[in-house]
Amino acid sequence: MTYVQPGLLVVLAALAFGLLARGSQRTQRAGARALWIGFLALLVWSSPPVARLAAWTLERGYAPLDAPAGGAEAIVVFAGGADLPYPGQPQPVASESTYRRALHAAWLYRNWRPVPIIVSGGPASEVSPEITIADVALRILLSAGVPAEQITPERRSRSTAENAVYAGEILRARGIRRVALVTDGFHMRRSEILLRKQGVDVLPAPCSLRSRRPFLHWREYLPSGEAILANEDCLHEWGALVWYRLRGRL
């Protein structure tokens, strides 16, 4: 899935206002304040430690385990996104989140429980509905050694809510009531709640906990575009949690 990055837009708007403010002294003073606020906000929004803290607000409560404690009848993967083909890239390519989630599901299959895997992810784009994220993730699972007969793709979902609904339909049809759910740690809370609402007992199996990653070099403390993207992910996730709550989905 692709989302607008509202946090960065707000920061850039403040910087633009500060740079372009003209007219009265009052307007110029407001512009100067906006410029400083935008600059400081950009430093915060691009800070890796702030990104780790933002991730922690969503990941707290999930233990840093390689595999969930207990057994399950299936592994469910909520895939992330995929890049469409273009000249020089003749086939769709998994986004980082899809790649990470599929690899973790394959690892669980080989090292934890060799149970069926349901991978959920609908069209990668409105303009190419025939290319589904589930099929892109399926290729990764196959290349990682999971047998084709053990994988069921769910190709209709266009959101996390639909991931849960359509995966739930497959699970109920097969009489499966307990699953290990694979997605990123920051995305797990909403995913777990939504899948539980489908009558499924969920064992969280996050493929990454960003707040637990160690800083291995001093450069990792410096502002970065990666930190901006991570903060945008967390902002989107908190916005989705609030929106789903208001609509009665959680």
pLDDT tens digits, 41-67: 889 999 999 999 999 999 999 988 899
What is the C-alpha to C-alpha distance for residues 218 and 123, in angstroms, rounded to an integer?
40
Q: How many CB atoms lie within 10 A of CB 133?
A: 32
CATH 3.40.50.620 maps onto the chain at: 74-209
What is the C-alpha to C-alpha distance for residues 187 and 167, in angstroms, rounded to an integer?
16
Reading the block at residue 215, the tokens are 């800083």
Share of the chain above pLDDT 90, in %: 69
Going 7 to 9 to 12 to 18, the CA torsion angle's sign is negative
pLDDT, tens digit, 9 for 90 and up, residues 206-240:
999 999 988 888 888 898 999 999 999 999 999 99
What is the C-alpha to C-alpha distance for residues 234 and 17, in angstroms, rounded to an integer?
26
User: What letter would DSSP give residue 123?
Assistant: B
* pLDDT of the residue at 3: 60
Q: What is the largest CA-CA distance in the chain?
A: 71
Reading the block at residue 66, the tokens are 């390689």
> Per DSSP, what are the bridge partners of residue 203?
180
What is the C-alpha to C-alpha distance for residues 216 and 105, in angstroms, rounded to an integer?
26
What is the C-alpha to C-alpha distance for residues 51 and 232, in angstroms, rounded to an integer?
9
Q: Which fold has domain 74-209?
A: Rossmann fold (3.40.50)
What is the C-alpha to C-alpha distance for residues 211 and 55, in angstroms, rounded to an integer?
5
pLDDT, tens digit, 9 for 90 and up, residues 188-200:
999 999 999 999 9
Q: Are 126 and 159 in contact (CB under 8 A)?
A: no
Where does the pLDDT of residue 2 fall: very low under 50, low under 70, confident under 90, or very high at 90 and above? very low
Q: What distances in angstroms separate CA 124 from CA 1, 67, 94, 118, 132, one per listed residue?
A: 7, 29, 10, 17, 5
Q: Are 192 and 241 in contact (CB under 8 A)?
A: no
